[in-house]
Structure 1
Amino acid sequence: MSEQQTLSRFLEDQKEEVERRLPGYVAHLDSPEVLVSAMRYSLEAGGKRLRPILLLATLEGYGVSLEKGYDTACAIEMVHTYSLIHDDLPAMDNDDMRRGKPTNHIIYGEAMAILAGDALLTQSFEIISKSAYLNDSEKAKLILHLAQAAGPKGMVGGQVADMEAEKKSGLEVSDLEYIHHHKTGDLLAFAIEAGAIIASADEEECLLLRRFAKNLGLAFQIKDDILDVEGDAEEMGKPAGSDETNGKTTYPKLLGMEGAKEKLDMHIQNAKEYLLQIKKDHKLLHELTRYVAERTR
C-alpha cells in the first residue's frame, strides 16, 4: 500500500471512529433535551475532523495506542464545533449554511445555539478530566494547553482581532498572520501538541512539533482563502466567494492569488523541514501536510 493510500485509509478510518464516538459524550447528559439535540446537531454535521486526526496521527508516529487519545481528540473537536456554532451567528459571520446544512441558529434559534456552543466548550474539559487513559499530570497539561489555545490568548483572541480588522483599512500580512495563527492555528497546533504530551515526547520534540503545527495551521488557512475563490461550492458545502461578500481580508486579497500560493508553499515547506528534524518518522504527519496543501474542500 502506498503512503497516499495509507493516509487515505487512516483518514477514513479515524474520521469514522471519531464520528462514532462523539455523540456518546453528550447522549446521556442530565440536561434539557433541546440542548442535547442542538449539541448533537452540530457534532454530527460532518467535516474533515482534521484536529482529532492530527492528534491521532501524532500518536501513531510515536507508536502509542490510539485508544489513549480518543477522549482528547473528541474534546478538541467539541471545542472546534462550538467555535463554528458561534462564528455562524448573526452577530458574527451571519452564515445560514455550514457543511451543506442549515447552521445551528437557523434550526434552534440564536439563544439555544449560543448555549449549545457554551455546553460543548465546557464539556470538552470534563471529558479530558474524566479520561481513564490519562494520568493526572497528562490531564493537567492537556487542560492547561487547551484553555490557552481556545481562550483569550488563542482562538477567541484571534476571532476578536478578525472582527476588529474588518473595521480597518491597510491591513498588513503580519496582521493577517496574527489573526489566523490564533483564530485557526492555535487549536490545530494544540491537537499535535496534545499527541506529543500523551506520547510523553521530550521537550525538544514538543517544540519542533509546535513549530511544525504553527506553519501547518497558517498553510491550512491560506488554502481556505484560496478555496474560497477557486473552490467548488458544492464540494465545500458553502458558497464560494463568501469571504469577499463578508468583506474579509484574505491572503489572495492582500497578495494576489499567485502571492497567496507562494505563501502557502513557503509554510508547507517550513512545516516539512521541522518534521524532518524529529527523530521519529512521522509518515502520517508528512502525508497530512501534503493533504493540507492539495485539498479541494
Structure 2
Amino acid sequence: MTEQLDAIASFEQSLAECADKVTVVLDKFIPSAIGPEAQLMRAMRHGALAGGKRLRPFITIEVGRLFDAPEKSLLRAASALECVHAYSLVHDDLPCMDDDDLRRGLPTVHKAFDEATAVLAGDALQALAFEILANTETHGDAGVRCKLIEVLALSSGARGMVGGQMIDMAPSFDDKDALNILARMQRMKTGALISCAAEFGAIIGGANEHEHQALAGFTTDLGLAYQIKDDLLDVQGDEAVLGKAVSKDKDAGKQNFVSLLGEESAISRIEMLADQAKQHLSVFGGRATTLTQTVDFVLDRRH
C-alpha cells in the first residue's frame, strides 16, 4: 500500500512539474501588452494560463522521453498543443456552444471579458499554436516542423476536434446508432488532441512505424476512457471540486455514455479501455511506466 501511494505521489509530482514548465513557456509566448490590443492578450492569458492538468503536454513530453527527444522541442510542441486545447475550451464555453459560466473554478473568458473578445482570444490562441510549431527553435528539421503542423491541423480541424464539436451540437442521435455516433464524436472531439499529443512526442523522437502504431492504440483507448470518465463526473462529480457545473448533459437533454450505458456499464467500459491502453504500451517495457500511470490517473481523477 505504501509503495502504491508513493507511486501515485511521484506521478502527481511529475504531472505538476510538467504543468509548471508548460505554464512558464506559455507565459513567455503570451506576454502582457499595452495599447489597444491589451484586452485581447489579457483574455488569451486568462484562457491559457488559468491552471489545468496539462495532461496533453504531459503525454507529449513523456512519449518524447521514450526516445530521448530534446526537452526544448517537446516543451514548445506541447505548449502549441495546449494553445489549441485552451482555444477549444474558450469557444466551447460560449453561449452558442455549451454556455458555461465557470472553468477551473474561474469565470469563463466570455464572462470575464465579453463574447467578442472570447471569440478573438480563441482565434489568436489557435494562430499562436502554428506560429510556435513553424519556428526553427521548435526543431531544426523543416520536415519535422511541417509534420507537426500537419498533425495538429488534422487533429484540430473538421476531421478532428472541430468536427467532433459539430456532432456534439446535435440535440440527440437516432437510438439505433447513438452509441456508435457518440464514440465517433468523442474520438474526434476529445481523442484527437490526446492522440496528437503522443504523435508529437513520437515525431520529435523519431519513433518507428511499430512504435507509432502502439502509441496510436494507447491514445485511442485512453481518449475514450477519458471522455467516459468525464460523463461519469458530470453525473457523480462535485461542482466545487470540478470547478464547473455538473449534470449539464442531463439538463440539456443530451445523450452521453452514462445515459446510454448506465453507470455500472460505463465503469466497466472504462476498465476495459484502460487494460487495452496499458497493453499497447507493453512494447516499451519499463520505459513506459509513467505513461501507464497516466491511465490510472484518468480512471481515478475527480476533476
TM-score tier after normalising by the smaller chain length: over 0.9
Is 1:176 aligned to 2:182, yes or no? yes
**1:207 CA drift (Å):** 1.2
Aligned residue number for residue 59 of structure 1:
64
- Of the structure 1 ranges 2-11 and 245-254, higher mean CA displacement relative to structure 2 is found in 2-11
Cα deviation digits, residues 67-105 of structure 1 (max 9, x gap): 221111111011001000111111111111111111111
Kept after mapping to 2: 8 A contact 1:59/1:69 = yes
User: 1:8: which partner in 2?
Assistant: 12
Report whether the alignment pairs 1:201 with 2:228: no
Distance across 2 between alignment mates of 1:149 and 1:211: 15
Q: CA deviation at 1:3?
A: 3.4
Question: In the alignment, which residue of structure 1 is the partner of 2:168?
Answer: 162
Give, in angstroms, the shift of residue 263 of structure 1. 1.0
| 1:46 aligns with one of 51, 55, 62 | 51
Matched residue, 1:148: 154
Q: Which position in structure 2 is the counterpart of 1:109?
A: 114
Q: Secondary structure at the match of 2:262?
A: helix
Aligned to 1:232: 238
CA contact (8 A) 2:133 2:145 kept: yes
Residue 68 (str. 1) matches residue 65 (str. 2): no
Q: Specify whether residues 131 and 243 from structure 1 end up closer, same or farther in structure 2 by C-alpha distance, changes over 3 A only.
A: farther
* 1:18 corresponds to 2:22: yes
| Identical amino acids, percent of aligned pairs | 38
Q: Select the residue among 273, 278, 283 that pairs with 1:277.
A: 283
1:98 to 94, 98, 103: 103
**Residue number in structure 1 paired with 2:251:** 245
TM-score of the superposed pair, with normalisation by structure 1? 0.95
Q: Secondary structure at the match of 1:277?
A: helix
Q: What is the one-letter code of the residue matched to 1:47?
A: G
Q: After alignment, is 63-72 or 254-263 more displaced?
A: 63-72
Moved over 6 A (4+): 28-31
Q: Quick one: distance in 1 between partners of 2:120 and 2:73?
A: 30
Instruction: Indicate conservation of the 8 Å contact 2:56/2:194, yes or no.
Output: yes
Q: What amino acid sits opposite 2:61 in the alignment?
A: L
Is the CA contact (8 Å cut-off) linking 2:172 and 2:255 kept in structure 1? no
Counterpart-to-counterpart distance in 1, 2:237 and 2:201: 31
46-55 vs 234-243, which moves further: 234-243
Return the alpha-carbon distance in structure 2 between the equivalents of residues 183 and 84 of structure 1.
Answer: 11
Partner of 1:293: 299
- Return 5+ residue gaps in structure 2 as ranges: none
SS at match of 1:69: helix
- Paired residue total: 296
Q: Is the 8 A contact 1:161 1:179 kept in 2?
A: yes
Q: 2:271 is matched with which residue: 249, 265, 277?
A: 265
- CA root-mean-square deviation: 1.7
The answer (yes or no) to whether the contact 1:61–1:280 under 8 Å persists in 2 is: no
Q: Deviations over 1:240-292 (max 9, x none)?
A: 21221122211110010001111111111111111113467211100111111
SS for the counterpart of 1:239 is: coil
Residue 48 of structure 1 aligns with an amino acid whose one-letter code is K
Q: Is the CA contact 1:62–1:280 (under 8 Å) kept in the aligned structure 2?
A: no
Instruction: Tell me the residue number matched to 1:216.
Output: 222
Which stretch of the first structure deviates more once superposed, 2-11 or 84-93?
A: 2-11
Deviation, 1:53, is 0.7
Q: Do residues 82 (structure 1) and 102 (structure 2) align?
A: no
- Measure the CA separation in 2 of the matches of 1:6 and 1:274: 23
Q: Does 2:136 match 1:127?
A: no
Pick closer, same or farther for the CA change 1:68–1:168 going to 2, 3 Å: closer
Contact 2:195 / 2:223 at 8 angstroms: preserved in 1?
A: yes
Listed one character per residue, the Cα deviations across residues 195-238 of structure 1 (whole Å, up to 9, x for unaligned) are 01011010110111011101100000000001111112111101
With structure 2 as the length reference, what TM-score do the two structures score? 0.93
Range 1-10 or range 123-132, more displaced: 1-10
**Residues in 2 aligned to 1:61 and 1:232: alpha-carbon distance in whole angstroms:** 36
Paired with 2:185 and 2:11, the residues of 1 have a C-alpha distance of 30
